[in-house]
Amino acid sequence: MTFSARWRWEGVGSVTGELPGLYEMLDDRFRTGRCMNGDDALEILYTGCRWAEGPLYVPAWRQVIWSDIPNDRMLRWDEETGAVSVFRRSAGHTNGNTLDREGRLITCEQGNRRVTRTEHDGTVTVVADRWQGKRLNSPNDAAVKSDGSIWFSDPDFGITSDYEGYRAESEIGSNNVYRVDPATGEVRLVADCFAAPNGLVFSHDERQLYVSDTRAGFIRVFDVRDDGTLSEGKVFADAAARENARFDNLRFDADGRLWAAAMNDGVHCYDPDGTLIGRLNVPEAVANIAWGGAKRNRLFIAAETSLYSVVMGATGTHPTGPGRRPWLDTH
């Protein structure tokens, strides 16, 4: 199935009250940093999801994998053909996706209350499903560090109703961030200061971990210690500055700017000092974003019912791993 459409805005919106465009420049660094691209076209690649999440661009495939949580499926879009097909059915109400150092797919199955790894032969290995003998809530997003450790957020979104998972009581009683040891597989709680932790991403040097808290309305930043523990953390960004913003997924670009899915306020772009310097207007509530394309300058946006993309001036970082996937065409 192929579906493609384009919207084009006239001009660039700004805080001066001009007609809103794809880009809204809130600080001149959004312009001088070459975040914007001259072609202000937002392309819709697919529509028909009930809640789109977790896009991941896999360079070796030239495909985007993403989640349609309520429909309990994962989809894939082919960059060469524009075709969209089902990647995985009965996917455990999958949410976030990433790659590990070996190029294997790491998936947060919030309905199955676990984090899994898809091996090169297509088999699925459980990475984490319990902490201290208690079932996880509903893993949401994951990030892989260069030492092979897997870090993931575990809010309760998937157990509060049957819409994006299965209603259940939390066995742990709190919403936390965890680290999976690459050698032992031990699941360690590393941060418990959240109302609902969501997106997480490491800084380029991996000395800091950024985590969004959707309910509290903050993005927090933590120092990562050598032993894999975190500092107390501090607020990097506050959603209260924007009336309609709620933070979800996070991504860095190659110049160290943090991009955040901000639900009904589109996509935010933050300078490394925490200043909101610009944003993207998107017709639907933005849940998750990912960099991709041959030049890594294409931003893929999962928003409510659709998967969008826009070619940016900024370039992103690509996920860990070489991306060799012999099982792609059989799943």
pLDDT of residue 30: 95
Residue 230 per-residue DSSP state? B
Residue 52 · residue 302 · CB < 8 Å: yes
Least confident of 97-101, 198-202, 280-284, 324-328: 324-328
The structural domains of the chain, with segments of one domain joined by +, span: 23-312
| pLDDT, position 324 | 42
Token output for 60: 């070796």
Give the pLDDT confidence of 234-258 residue by residue, as tens digits: 999 999 989 889 999 999 999 999 9
What Cα–Cα distance (Å) separates residue 162 from each residue in 113, 166, 173, 201, 253?
13, 4, 19, 28, 35
Q: What is residue 171's three-state secondary structure?
A: coil
Those residues whose C-beta lies under 8 Å from the C-beta of residue 328, and which sit 6 or more positions away, are: 61, 63
pTM of the predicted protein model: 0.91
Residue 186 predicted with pLDDT over 90: yes
Helix (H) or strand (E) holding 29: helix 29-32
Q: Could you give the CA distance from residue 143 to residue 200 in angstroms, rounded to a whole number?
A: 7
Report the distance separating Cα 198 and Cα 176, nearest Å.
9
Do β-strands 286-292 and 13-14 pair in parallel, antiparallel, or remain unpaired? Answer: unpaired
Give percent of the chain with pLDDT exceeding 90.
84
Reference 151, options 100, 102, 215, 193; nearest CA is 100
Output the average pLDDT for the chain.
Answer: 90
The CATH code belonging to domain 23-312 is 2.120.10.30
- Alpha-carbon distance 35 to 312, whole Å? 6
Q: Are 266 and 283 in contact (CB under 8 A)?
A: no
